[in-house]
Chain A
Amino acid sequence: MTEDFITKIEGHGRLKVDWKKNQVTLEVAEGERLFEGIVVGRPATEAAWITARICGVCPTAHNLCALKAVEDALGIIPDPTTILLRQLLLSAQMIQSHTLHLYFLAFPDYLGIDSGLELKKKHPKYFRAALTLKEVSDEIAKVVGGRATHPTTTTVGGFHKTPSANQLKELKRGIQEALREAESTAHLAASLTYPEFKTNLLFLSQVGKKAHFNIYETVKTQGSDGTTWLIKDYKKMITEEIRRYSTAKFGFYQKKPVMVGALARLAIQGGNLNPKAKRFLGRAKIDFQNPFHNNLAQAVELVHFTEEALELIDRITEAPKPANPKGLTGLKRPKTGIGALEAPRGGLYHEYTINERGSITKANIITPTVQNLGSLEKTAQALIDQTKNLGKERRAKLLEMLVRAYDPCITCSVH
């Protein structure tokens, strides 16, 4: 028995191509876990613990997004050091996710190998870069979050436990090494030959208050069409559709397919990148109409978030120790809260309604990949339309590479 799922992507999906009609559909076959039902009736404090399990590649993003939503509902404002620590965790999450995606899922197509494990013998230099980036980002997640996958120290209002000055010092040394490897990854990504392909892409990215490449303290979502949306209007901005061939909903921006993630972030707030990343962005010649360049954008972001982690470590070292999170008290009446942040694959939104007893009565989650599915399907169709002169095998290969370039997280999209 063989499964015809696309390999080297997170989760189970297939591109079905009708070669006679030149028509493509994106089938998502992951089972429905029904997270928005699972959390109902459970304490609001469990939302972050449970929803981290939506995705093993970006669990910290879900964990923090759920905490933000619950804190929004309960009117809790975490202290500045807590926010710095969360930003560090989210930066580490970006490095963890982009490293895994680039070296183990996407780059093999460009390096003439099948599995990232082959790097060890065939490209030892790249292998060392991949391992260093993975090790250092996992270490940040462990020291600050308690574990590489699925945090244990994070909680509503703050942290159960925070790193010591010595631990931060150790981390800093690792991140300095990781920065060199992030730069070598950006060089590698810039040296690869991406398929030549152009299509109209519409982008969305959450942005912060200030001119800073913000992913945690976002206040609105900005489109490449010039429109901005308040976070609270996220459901007006993104509408979800049901497809008969997919267990994931397809999200659309004002009825139009939209791309979120690294390429979208660079298109919308690339001017705010950290200095080294900005230099790479200037040199990399990213084509914002070529979705294959999302890989290149991720590599530029690797540099940015490693620089960011270094800066955050310094700021945390100088900051006062965060206050202990306070115990939760009940609400006078039910309240709804929204949490939003930029996850590795794009804008993530969690919304919970919490009753007087502190239990969740309603939940809604929109993940980045839900938003990307419509764009991915449309772009795959454009690729089919533009490659009629190529052989079937080559076209199928290009389609697979395109899917990987979007870095879909199918498990997130179904949740």
Chain B
Amino acid sequence: MAKLRVAIFDFTDCEGCQVELVGLREKLTEIADQVDLVRWRLTQERTEPGPYDIAIVEGTPITKEEQKMLQWVREQSKFLIALGSCATLGGIPGIMDKEKRAYWYKKIYGSKYKPRGLDAPPLSALVKVDFLIHGCPVNGDEVVRVVEELLAGKTPKYRGYSVCFECKQAGNPCRLIEGKPRLASTKQRESRRACLGPITQGGCGAICVSGGSACWGCFGLRQEANIDGLLEVLSKIADSDEIEKYLSMFLKRTEAYQKFKDKAKRK
């Protein structure tokens, strides 16, 4: 059987997800040996035209040129994977509202500059995407899992559990329930802290919470996430402004942010 033709594309982003792919080291070369890697701008000059069996697309298509390119990639590809939060959610660049771009162009570049960017949408806002590998950055092992399932002829599935499941496995105290001891010597605890773990899809190994940061939801909403329930819990821990900051980090272009906004409006 002929090897699957795989192409990797990148739009505007930090390219950290591609760096994670390189970080797979031997595993990357093993996978590369099983497929025909016909296109990957970051690491090779070889660039073959389509069609492609699998296209892996990183980044958010901010410019018109990129948005056109995405349409073409979609037409040429049997299975299109969005790689990383910029591609799956709009990511950090998605924090910037479309309507506010003009103001910031003027402020940052001055009035003579002719902007190229239109907006920072997730790929799915423009084309049909067959699978989302979330993460800022992605977890390399998750990428391996998805690609290996595709190579075995299976359709990959999403993780059916939230970050909380992996966070408990990692032995972290729950930010939402327990808070963190202020001083190791006393039992006095800081107030509870916000976290988006409960509505966020697992697969990251709760890496941010394990490091002491919050979960800001970069792995995207899990299926059947109880958004209302979390908003209720958060409203007892943080003020509305703080909750907005949490939900806008990666999830600004999702149902979760919309629900929060609608609730805030009703108040």
Contact = CB atoms under 8 A, between A and B. Distances in A.
Given A32-B115, A33-B96, A134-B22, A149 B16 contact: yes
| Pairs of residues from A and B, 7 with the lowest C-beta to C-beta distance, nearest first | A160-B212, A56-B16, A31-B62, A152-B211, A146-B211, A31-B12, A37-B104
A33 B41 contact: no
Contacts of A12: 10, 12
Given A29-B63, A115-B40, A134-B25, 8 more contacts: A1-B49, A34-B93, A37-B100, A115-B46, A117-B43, A149-B23, A159-B212, A244-B114
Contact of A1 (B20, B45, B69, B207): B69
Contact of B92 (A50, A146, A151, A153): A50
Interface in B108-162: 108-110, 112-117, 120, 136-137
A32 B207 contact: no
Interface of B: 10-20, 22-23, 25-26, 28-29, 32, 37, 40-47, 49, 60-63, 65-66, 69, 72, 91-93, 95-96, 100-101, 103-105, 107-110, 112-117, 120, 136-137, 183, 190, 207-208, 210-213, 245, 249
Contact of A150 (B42, B62, B115, B136): B136
A82 to B, nearest CB: 14
Nearest to A365: B108
Interface residues of A, number: 62
B91 A8 contact: no
Contacts of A7: 41-45, 47
Interface stretch (A41-49, A282-290, A328-336): A41-49
B62 A33 contact: yes
Contacts, number: 191
A38 interface: yes
A116 B183 CA distance: 48
Interface of A is mostly: loop
A37 B108 contact: yes
B37 to A, nearest CB: 8
A247 interface: yes
A24 B27 CA distance: 40
A104 interface: yes
Contact of A120 (B13, B29, B110, B249): B29
B95 A147 contact: no
Given A56-B15, A131-B25, A153-B211, A2 B104 contact: no
Contacts of A115: 37, 40, 43-44, 46
B212 A155 contact: yes
Contacts of A56: 13-20, 137
A133 B266 CA distance: 55
B154 to A, nearest CB: 25
A72 B42 CA distance: 36
Nearest to B40: A115
A31 B25 contact: no
A94 interface: no
B47 A152 contact: no
B108 A100 contact: no
A30 interface: yes
8 contacts: A1-B69, A31-B60, A32-B115, A34-B108, A54-B14, A105-B43, A115-B40, A152-B208
A114 B208 contact: no
A138 B60 CA distance: 26
A242 interface: yes
B29 A53 contact: no
B46 A34 contact: no
A155 B37 CA distance: 39
Contacts of A242: 109-110, 112-113
A114 B45 CA distance: 6
B22 A31 contact: no
